[in-house]
Structure 1
Amino acid sequence: MPQLEVAGAALTYDDEGPRDGDGVPLVFIHGWTANRHRWDHQMTHFAQQRRVIRLDLRGHGESSGAGVRTVAELATDVLALLDHLEVERAVLVGHSMGGMIAQTITLDHPERVERLVLVDSIARMTYSRGRGLLMAASTLVPYKLFVATNIQRAFAPGHPRDEVRACIKASAATPREVVMTLYGAMRAFDVLDRVGEIRIPTLLIHGYHDIQLPLRQMLRMAKACPDAEVRIIDAGHELPVEKPAELTAALDRFLIPARG
């Protein structure tokens, strides 16, 4: 896989699909403790039609590097990759923390974003009591147990255990330092008062059973961004894994007006 050296990190990425394809490139940004393979279904589908880019954020997946303290710094990494690939404008699709990165890029560099899709993401981090207790206990329990508990909570009840176990394994490979530092970065993230500035077509798509970033928090964002399209899917927080075909279909419908 190709890599890009950025500020002490080697970012692994995929860049597939026709350069003269259907519309501007799609850029997929994964969430906290995940990796670029969360987007396998979307990558396979959309790369047949247009250029599609995805990356492992620093410290995740096959990317090295640590030390990032804010969501804005992660956004800088993504922009560096787009500059390297000579992508001036793109459709950003971000899941969870990846959606926070996408919001940051959209608000700070609106000229770089054609459309915005936020999957199970919010504009102001507010943790439930249960999530707060889990994070507080993170220093008292083995790291792998903490990761397993966090990922299990992310899925809607009844999801196949093999897929949950695969996500736990991938997340447990993310260094503890990276996980805990970026937890602090997400906790500090707050652009709710700015989302009304977003003037491009926006899709907010969320799992009905999401208890990591509850639906009511996304709806608070939707209220502040009244022109956004909202779609609710019968899933938990891990929409790209739980309902990949439904997510791809929703993206396809949202992108149709942008073609040509």
Structure 2
Amino acid sequence: MPHIEVGGARLRFDDEGRRDGVPLVFLHGWTADRHRWDHQMAHFAPHRRVIRLDLRGHGESEGVPRSLDELADDVRVLLDRLDVDRFVPVGHSMGGMIAQKLALGHPERIERMVLVGSISRMTYSRGRGLLMAVSTLLPFRLFVSANIHRAFGPGHPREEVRAYVRASAATPREVVMRCYDAMRAFDVLERVGEIRTPTLLLHGYHDIQLPVAQMLRMAKGCPDAVVRIVDAGHELPVEDPAAVTAAVEWFLTAGAQRDGAGPVG
């Protein structure tokens, strides 16, 4: 199993598919792991290079992240060691925030970008902010359970939701809380106009974790953004993986041709 050592942490990754063309780099969300992208890996690996990793402290990777900047730097170091220059980040939720960090910090390396259920600033009503603050006082498993249950849209099988709660609660507490605080503080909304690469904003209509309205605020400031809404909640890669794959495929082929470029191979 391939690993790299970065800043004292051992990070697990997969690098599959063809070695020519611009690779897709999949970035999972909070308390998740690289297997959120199993459907996309199976679809794209036969004809594209695809890379995914367990972010620091998640899945089979070690360490405790200090910030989203550190997580973004982990991705950059991995790609440097794999001799990858330009790439297409595909990030879900926190992974989308990391993708934005990469796009703003290293714009010359971003071919296109896909943000799945992600935003550029977390904004809360007074009541929601109070509720989130109180939730951090809950026992750890209840805190994780409350957040993961909210992430799924209505009607998703309860046993599957419970399985994801168990998997999320297995993430070390310090990792969970560090990343939670980092996401709450994340704010690049005033800078999204600097992102000049074509960007797909793919969002669940029933997302109450990061509501559609907040994504649309980002879309207004992002000059090259395309918006697609899916009938799902926040956990799009789990709730409707086929819709995510189809949207990414469209964006890399038909979308690229619409913009006057060839498919991203």
Report the counterpart of residue 144 of structure 1 in structure 2: 141
Report the counterpart of residue 72 of structure 2 in structure 1: 75
SS at match of 2:72: helix
Partners in 1 of 2:178 and 2:11 — Cα distance? 18
C-alpha deviation, 1:84, in angstroms:
1.1
Report the counterpart of residue 56 of structure 1 in structure 2: 54
Preserved contact between residue 30 and residue 97 of structure 1 (Cα < 8 Å): yes
Question: Deviation above 3 Å: which 4+ runs of structure 1?
Answer: 127-135, 137-140
Does residue 2 (structure 1) correspond to residue 7 (structure 2)? The answer is no
**1:49–1:130: structure 2 CA closer, same or farther, 3 Å change rule?**
farther
Does residue 186 (structure 1) correspond to residue 183 (structure 2)? The answer is yes
CA deviation map 1:181-206 (0-9, x unaligned): 11111111111111111111110000
Q: Which amino acid aligns with 1:17?
A: G
Unaligned runs of 5+ in 2: 257-262
CA deviation map 1:209-228 (0-9, x unaligned): 00000000000000001321
Preserved contact between residue 127 and residue 213 of structure 1 (Cα < 8 Å): no
Does residue 17 (structure 1) correspond to residue 8 (structure 2)? The answer is no
Unaligned runs of 5+ in 1: none
Preserved contact between residue 22 and residue 87 of structure 2 (Cα < 8 Å): yes
Of all paired residues, the percent bearing the same amino acid is: 74
**1:127–1:35: structure 2 CA closer, same or farther, 3 Å change rule?**
farther
Find 2:205's aligned residue among 208, 220, 229: 208
Preserved contact between residue 35 and residue 170 of structure 1 (Cα < 8 Å): no
Find 2:94's aligned residue among 92, 97, 104: 97
Q: Which amino acid aligns with 1:159?
A: H
Find 1:236's aligned residue among 233, 236, 244: 233
Partners in 2 of 1:62 and 1:28 — Cα distance? 16
Partners in 2 of 1:209 and 1:30 — Cα distance? 20
**1:190–1:252: structure 2 CA closer, same or farther, 3 Å change rule?**
same
C-alpha deviation, 1:138, in angstroms:
3.9
SS at match of 1:231: strand
Preserved contact between residue 205 and residue 230 of structure 1 (Cα < 8 Å): yes
SS at match of 1:54: strand
Q: Which amino acid aligns with 2:124?
A: Y
**1:17–1:131: structure 2 CA closer, same or farther, 3 Å change rule?**
farther
SS at match of 2:190: coil
Partners in 2 of 1:259 and 1:109 — Cα distance? 19
Query: With structure 2 as the length reference, what TM-score do the two structures score?
Result: 0.93
Q: Which amino acid aligns with 2:94?
A: M
Preserved contact between residue 147 and residue 168 of structure 1 (Cα < 8 Å): yes
C-alpha deviation, 1:8, in angstroms:
1.6
The correspondence of residues 97-176 of structure 1 with structure 2, limited to 5 A, is 97-128=94-125, 132-176=129-173
SS at match of 1:194: helix
C-alpha deviation, 1:131, in angstroms:
5.1
Find 1:218's aligned residue among 215, 218, 221: 215
SS at match of 1:100: helix
Q: CA-atom RMSD, angstroms?
A: 1.4
Residue correspondences, number? 257
Q: Which amino acid aligns with 1:259?
A: V
Preserved contact between residue 196 and residue 223 of structure 2 (Cα < 8 Å): no
SS at match of 1:114: coil
Preserved contact between residue 195 and residue 223 of structure 2 (Cα < 8 Å): no
Report the counterpart of residue 259 of structure 1 in structure 2: 264
Partners in 1 of 2:38 and 2:129 — Cα distance? 31
Report the counterpart of residue 35 of structure 1 in structure 2: 33
Partners in 2 of 1:134 and 1:62 — Cα distance? 32
